[in-house]
Structure 1
Amino acid sequence: MDSGDDPDASDGQRKKKRYHRHTPRQIQHLEAVFKECPHPDEKQRMQLSRDLGLEPRQIKFWFQNRRTQMKAQHERADNCALRAENDKIRCENIAIREALKNVICPTCGGPPVTEDSYFDEQKLRLENSRLKEELDRVSSMASRYLGRPMTQLPPVQPMPNSSLDLSVGGFGGPALGPSLDLDLLTGSSSAAPFPFPTAVSDIEKPIMANMATNALEELIRLVQTDEPLWIKPGGDRREVLNLETYDRIFPKLGHRFKSPDIRTEASRDSGLVFMNTVALVDLFMDSSKWAEFFPTIVSKARTLEVLVTGMAGTRSGSLLLMYEEMQVLSPVVPTREFCFLRYCQQIEQGSWAIADVSVDLSRENQFAPPSRSRRLPSGCLIQEMPNGYSKVTWVEHMEIEEKTPVHRLYRDLVDSGEAFGAQRWLATLQRMCERFACLMATGASSRELGGVIPSHEGRRSMMKLSQRMINNFCASLSASNGNRWTTLSGLNDVGVRVTVHKSTNLGQPNGVVLSAATSIWLPMSSERVFSFFKDEHTRAQWDVLSSGNSVQEVARIVNGSHPGNCISLLRALNASQNNMLILQESCTDASGSLVVYAPIDLPAINIVMSGEDPSYIPLLPSGFTILPDGRPGGGGGATTSSNPMGGSSGSLITVAFQILVSSLPSAKLNVESVTTVNNLISTTVQQIKAALNCPSG
């Protein structure tokens, strides 16, 4: 060997000699640090180097190798789980196909005869098309992990229900009563499975964190800046964003879609709510509570991933990836879907900011709905006030692409920004906080209860049952893709719209339920229409099922400052229905009103009044939604305490019924049921117009 090669060989030997394995103590210490911080910065690596007697490069390489090892372990576990589920479902499908070959008609002994109506066939075709698109999208993603094509995937399991518990300091102190545990509506927004995968890569997380930080900064500026950024074009208290000024102040963040199909909605409102800041922040950062608290606006909500947890056991610093579907309570107004980041930060003692901003996720992840609609920096600034109150300043800012046009009946309401604006959110929040404050109250007069409900526990049970009734009613009106409506001919240009679902949920009658609704415009104020519907003395004028008999209110629970916000127990003055009562809740705020009711028998009422859990009592609610029409010039639009819905020129009324078609979940919808509900709604609308002296055209 050349003598010149010797130095190289000796150098290699020296390098080999310097290599050594980490000691068990070093590995144990590194593993402990890795659990807390998988990505240490240079300062942390230098400190570990000094503590363990290792070189900084050794520390750096160890963490890189450990992260790679952890990622490989997770991928192997995911692959095994997907293969097992795929094989399981393939076997189940084979068994089902074999079983179907042997199906016979119980009447004639031959193959089953299908007599599906045109309505059933069209609905199934649309549903199959949607499911096929979702399956193809999810399968293409899963094949990346399995390394081979995947034709079948396991169904996404529903997330577990969580109760709405706002009692921890919720209304001025913890001594106001036990926790609020209102039932989640099974099958509603908070329980339906979410069809998209929810994994965010390590590369995306810092990008999202930066987006959230910028959104929070912008939100604070939007809250703290007045004119000329915010203007009042209608002369009332409504504030809308001056887009020219906004683009000058936020030139980098205001990347607008320059398209005639995209329009901007931006509004701001502020007011006091009867709930302290800690409970409000918890409400905003829990998607299940969020959906339950806003059933009239939120039809679906999900926390897709917790990207950052709060600091020191609080919500401050929390960053969530969320999905939300918003609605107007009419089947003719399309819902709005957003995948967005929600970032919570405590600014100072007693002051919190919660910012939302849409996130553009990659096509590989397939999170986002196929729309260019997005939520620009929006949210709330919450400031603690005395006596359990909070001041909330709400900002809504979004760019909307309407793929499905809004029916002309609701066009003014939607285009004005009132349908999804800050005023609607804040008014609903104020009313719901009052409602839950009443639920927590420990005392009530016998006059309020009509001397019928004997205890505070009975009162709470009645309010919980009524809240579930409201949630069910709102869910039944959703115009989301999973709730497809078919239009029947007749009545008006909206027509009676119907949809059907099979109910096996707790708290609903088992079987096939037909939902039917229509919307009409009336040339009178929303306040007048609301008073007409909630008045027990005028009920016989519109209630077709009462056969002209009047009703008597036997109990009332007031649940808000407005006299129209109450829960009533009504008794029909009809000898043939002595065993049946009507549970009704009416509520009104600056954004609109609801009157919802459901029949309930005496044994069920006795269970509720005794304070027992009402979760098992089946309800099938019907009712009315009342919204201002959004048209200008009908009285100035001013909102006052005596007229909470303002002075629009008219009202938009949605009439909705739910009917149990059959107690067998396997039953098919028949033409007779559709005809019956069509006649029921048509007659109801005609009687409403006649009672209010409105033209019947």
Structure 2
Amino acid sequence: MEGILMSIDKSVAAELASEAMEEFMKMAMDREEVLWSQGHGGKEALIYKEYLNQFTSAGMGQSSPDLKTDATRATAMVFIKSLSLVEALMNMKQWKDMLCCIVSRAITVDVISSGSGGSLDGALLLIYAELQVLSPLVPTRDVFFLRFCKQHKEGVWAVVDVSVDSLTESLSSSSLKCRKRPSGCLIQDMPNGFSKVTWVEHWEYDESEIHSLYRPFISSGMGFGAHRWLATLQRQTERLATELATPHLQNMVVGGRVDGGRSLLKVAERMRNNFCSIVNHSTLHNGSQVLGLKDGGVRVATRKRSDDPRKPPAGVLSAAASIWLPVSPERLFDFLRDGRLRNEWDMLSNGGPMHETAYIATGQDPGNNVSLLTASAQSKTLILQESCKDSSGFLVVYSPVDISQLNEVINGEEDSAYVDLLPCGFSILPPGSQVEVDDSNKENGALLTVVIQITVSTYNPRKARLTAESVKTVSNLISCTVRKIKSALSL
């Protein structure tokens, strides 16, 4: 990173950011839809020929013939004030936490400008980020880019990103896998705490490393496009609003504090964030190793379980696999999140249905919630589960939790960061377009990613290895889970 910093002239970076802002504003404010067409279920896609006629793309040069183009626009009402959203976008920790399903890593490499007059107006950052789809079959998009923030008038802000590969020889090479042309969001304050957000995503990327199963999903703009960013943002801001408005638990049988619900939501948030960080192998801790099978298969890695000094060192084996299933994403989601049906696929259920002992809604849709499940009243272990849905996809994440630890957190006697979690779960995505099955039949179906983790008693990053036995264990767990899901759904 230091070498890249030294090679970027700040005045040139500021000029690039200004040009990117101008291009972005024209794309975002194109009310005549000269640049946009309706391609993929009403979503807006860029008319690239018209785009090339109007723009030189902020000094980035011509598109690379080796890279595929993905450019989309979406607009929606989001329950957050414009300044709050701007502040989150300009703070890498908040940005990552708010959009963890997409942002697996984010670092501020350099603050070129902190803004003017004590505000973020004019702030310019150099950022490194890893962006992901929750599948091991889609490589992360690793990109250095400028993020420029500008207030256009009272209650109207724009935050724009643009790759810096054109400014440094160390990034401008034939090995470039992706780059961001001027992209970002236009945020306008509306009544009652809402903002109108127009999001534009404009990418060039190398399609060759994406598994064929996911290429239709990515090329449709559903993987890294504006619609997914905006849908994820809507769901997360709704969750935050619900957390503030609903401090208590429904059907609560553990703990007694009125604000115990918020404590449980914090634990669930950490569980979900940890889950999102392990799906793609590139986001795992140093010392991790990956077994990648050419045709997808099961990806397995090792990592350290916890940095808690009060506990002995332990390791985790993480396994992830993605498959296509001939079932609608909605049906698959409803099946996997239903505790009463959990015994049909989950060995932790001990062969019987699980009962819901606590429930917190995290949005208006009943599919968005945090719950506690148990196999019996005598069990010392509960299952903490969060299910999420929006128009871009579905998520079901769960982890065993010790009931005594959970009671301590809910009663305010312990920091939620010390609750032992081992997140497992499912990401469910629409395929984006028709997927070929057996080279003859075509169905839509669902793209399912299964993630399972198991503990190992010791961990030494210098000696961490994937043994044949450990790979076989987690691979069998994945295979068994998939087989049971298929059987239960008669697939």
Length-normalised TM-score, structure 1: 0.65
More strand by share: 2
Q: Distance in 2 between matches of 1:257 and 1:510?
A: 51
Q: Distance in 1 between matches of 2:22 and 2:167?
A: 25
- Work out whether residues 516 and 658 of structure 1, in 8 Å CA contact, stay in contact via their aligned partners in 2: yes
The answer for the alignment partner of 1:126 in structure 2 is none
Residue 655 (1) aligns with residue 450 (2): yes
The answer for the alignment partner of 2:335 in structure 1 is 532
- Work out whether residues 494 and 518 of structure 1, in 8 Å CA contact, stay in contact via their aligned partners in 2: yes
Q: Distance in 2 between matches of 1:256 and 1:692?
A: 51
Distance 1:253 1:278, change over 3 A: closer
Matches within 5 A, 1:101-112: none
Residue 470 (1) aligns with residue 272 (2): yes
* Post-superposition offset of 1:257: 4.3
- Work out whether residues 449 and 557 of structure 1, in 8 Å CA contact, stay in contact via their aligned partners in 2: no
Q: Which amino acid aligns with 1:606?
A: N
Matches within 5 A, 1:20-59: none
Q: Distance in 1 between matches of 2:370 and 2:174?
A: 38
More helix by share: 1
Distance 1:200 1:664, change over 3 A: closer
* Greater shift in the superposed pair: 518-527 or 418-427: 518-527
The answer for the alignment partner of 2:471 in structure 1 is 674
Deviations 1:79-133 (A, max 9, x none): xxxxxxxxxxxxxxxxxxxxxxxxxxxxxxxxxxxxxxxxxxxxxxxxxxxxxxx
Deviations 1:425-453 (A, max 9, x none): 00000000011112222554x6x344655
Q: Which amino acid aligns with 1:571?
A: T
Q: Distance in 2 between matches of 1:230 and 1:589?
A: 24
Deviations 1:531-564 (A, max 9, x none): 0001111111110332312110000011111111
Gaps of at least 5 residues in structure 1 are 1-194, 635-647
- Work out whether residues 88 and 95 of structure 2, in 8 Å CA contact, stay in contact via their aligned partners in 1: yes
- Work out whether residues 331 and 485 of structure 1, in 8 Å CA contact, stay in contact via their aligned partners in 2: no
The answer for the alignment partner of 1:101 in structure 2 is none
* Post-superposition offset of 1:630: 0.7
- Work out whether residues 333 and 479 of structure 1, in 8 Å CA contact, stay in contact via their aligned partners in 2: no
Q: Distance in 2 between matches of 1:382 and 1:200?
A: 33
The answer for the alignment partner of 2:73 in structure 1 is 268
Larger radius of gyration: 1
Q: Which amino acid aligns with 2:397?
A: V
Q: Distance in 1 between matches of 2:354 and 2:267?
A: 21
Gaps of at least 5 residues in structure 2 are 437-442
The answer for the alignment partner of 2:439 in structure 1 is none
SS in 2 for 1:342: strand
Length-normalised TM-score, structure 2: 0.91
Q: Which amino acid aligns with 1:276?
A: K
Aligned match for 2:95, one of 290, 305, 309: 290
Q: Distance in 1 between matches of 2:145 and 2:458?
A: 40
The answer for the alignment partner of 1:599 in structure 2 is 400
Q: Distance in 2 between matches of 1:339 and 1:225?
A: 27
- Work out whether residues 442 and 456 of structure 1, in 8 Å CA contact, stay in contact via their aligned partners in 2: no
Aligned match for 1:422, one of 208, 214, 226: 226
Q: Distance in 2 between matches of 1:221 and 1:285?
A: 22
* Post-superposition offset of 1:270: 0.7
The answer for the alignment partner of 1:153 in structure 2 is none
Distance 1:484 1:378, change over 3 A: farther
Aligned match for 1:343, one of 129, 148, 156: 148
Q: Which amino acid aligns with 2:323?
A: I
The answer for the alignment partner of 2:415 in structure 1 is 613
* Post-superposition offset of 1:248: 1.2
Matches within 5 A, 1:447-596: 448-450=250-252, 452-480=254-282, 484-487=289-292, 493-506=295-308, 510-573=313-376, 578-596=379-397
Residue 352 (1) aligns with residue 153 (2): no
SS in 2 for 1:328: coil
- The answer to which structure, 1 or 2, has the higher relative contact order (CA under 8 A, 6+ apart) is 2
The answer for the alignment partner of 2:122 in structure 1 is 317
Determine what percentage of the aligned residue pairs are the same residue: 46
Q: Which amino acid aligns with 1:679?
A: N
Deviations 1:332-384 (A, max 9, x none): 11111111110101100000011111112665767999515211111000000
Residue 629 (1) aligns with residue 431 (2): yes
The answer for the alignment partner of 1:693 in structure 2 is 490
Q: Which amino acid aligns with 2:395?
A: L
Q: Distance in 2 between matches of 1:231 and 1:409?
A: 26
- Work out whether residues 595 and 623 of structure 1, in 8 Å CA contact, stay in contact via their aligned partners in 2: yes
- Work out whether residues 374 and 399 of structure 1, in 8 Å CA contact, stay in contact via their aligned partners in 2: yes
